[in-house]
Amino acid sequence: MDTRLLRVFQAVARHGGLPGAALELHLTPSALSHRLKGLETELGCRLFERSGRRMILNQAGEQLLAGIEGPLESLSETATRLKALGRWGQGRLRIGVSASLCEDLLPRVLGELRREFAKLHVVVESGDMTELAGTIRERQLDLAVGVGLDPEPGLEFRPVFEDELLWVLSPSHPWSDGRPLSKADLRKEPVITYRRGSSTARLVDRYFRGLGVDPMVVMELASVRAIKEMVLRNLGVAILAPWAIASELAAGTLTMRPLGAKSLRRQWVLVHPVGRRLTLAEERFHRLMEQEGRALWRDRASIPDAS
């Protein structure tokens, strides 16, 4: 079925007649009438009831309109994207990245990538890996970087860097004296965490379940910056990696200590559809993420005087 005829039909249905549709499509009313008759002949049924100059959809027309609007819209969107690719000349990179990396590591990586691939069109979406993985599977993103998930069908994982999660405290907090923490200490202290359901929250929950402890979570926030502000005001303690508070550690406005005798480490990964070969720009993006990740303060050994 000719999509040009379907767009004529759609325009006439939208305007309720030939004059308005003719203006929209830059065709004469007689040309539109001829094309409509051709479509009705092809389908073997009438699509409109005519009332003077008005053209009203009949039952067949209503069914046809309902069936074509979604596909025609998808075709238009695809054509727009393809034209955009042609203008940029070197393709497009659609990436999903954890919000915390967007604040710290990603700007440096994209700055270098832009210098090497000047015409690359980069689209960025922030989110947790639990959400981004589904978007990768649906091919709405090319790559995603975040905290690793358990193996999932249809996805391939490449390591980027590893870090350690530690307690984040105000220097005036009682825990900053370094004394051992009891289970009672852990149960009664207000804890500020990243939002529930995130990859990091799952790791933290699993860690404390292994200790037989259920911390008193008082805030679940989607912003690392907001978490830090709450801890700065001594409203509780948080669990973050050293690189997330590097400037505060250097300034002495926040401090850190290990979660306990056993460490809690995260693996950050790059995810893409299984079996898909990465482009040169995508491979370079991965290498830059690895390079910048190695330069971060990633664990307790990175922090001066950490115990």
Q: Using one digit for the tens of pLDDT, what is the confidence trace for 103-151?
A: 889 999 999 999 999 888 899 999 989 889 889 988 899 999 999 878 7
Element (H, E) at 61: helix 59-88
From the list 122, 60, 55, the residue with the least C-alpha distance to 90 is: 122
Structural domain ending residue among the three candidates 54, 88, 122: 88
From the list 199, 173, 183, the residue with the least C-alpha distance to 259 is: 183
- Spans in the chain with pLDDT lower than 50: 86-89, 306-307
pLDDT value, residue 130? 86
Host domain of residue 241: 162-266
Q: Which residues of 167-205 are buried (b: 16+ CB within 10 A; e: fewer)?
A: bbbbeebebbeeeebeeeebeebebbbbeeebbbbbbbe
pLDDT value, residue 119? 85
pLDDT value, residue 198? 86
Same domain, yes or no: 155 and 176: no
How many structural domains compose the chain?
Answer: 3
DSSP state of 149: P
From the list 246, 133, 266, 290, the residue with the least C-alpha distance to 202 is: 266
Same domain, yes or no: 289 and 145: yes
From the list 257, 253, 230, 220, the residue with the least C-alpha distance to 242 is: 257
pLDDT value, residue 307? 44
Assign residue 139 a region: left if phi > 0, alpha if psi is -120 to 50, beta otherwise?
A: left
User: The domain that contains 10 carries what CATH number?
Assistant: 1.10.10.10
Residue 304 burial class via C-beta count within 10 angstroms: exposed 0-12, middle 13-18, buried 19 and up: exposed
Q: How far, in Å, CA of 286 to CA of 27, rounded?
A: 51
pLDDT value, residue 246? 93
Query: With contact defined as beta carbons under 8 Å apart, do 110 and 94 qualify?
Result: no
Same domain, yes or no: 45 and 126: no
Q: How far, in Å, CA of 109 to CA of 224, rounded?
A: 20
Is 53 domain-assigned?
yes
pLDDT value, residue 138? 87
Structural domain ending residue among the three candidates 88, 103, 118: 88
Q: Which long-range contacts (CB under 8 A, 24 or more apart) does 181-189 make?
A: 181/260, 183/211, 183/212, 183/213, 186/211, 186/213, 186/215, 187/213, 187/214, 187/215, 187/216, 188/216, 189/215, 189/216, 189/236, 189/237
Structural domain ending residue among the three candidates 88, 113, 139: 88
User: The domain that contains 153 carries what CATH number?
Assistant: 3.40.190.10
Q: How far, in Å, CA of 113 to CA of 105, rounded?
A: 13
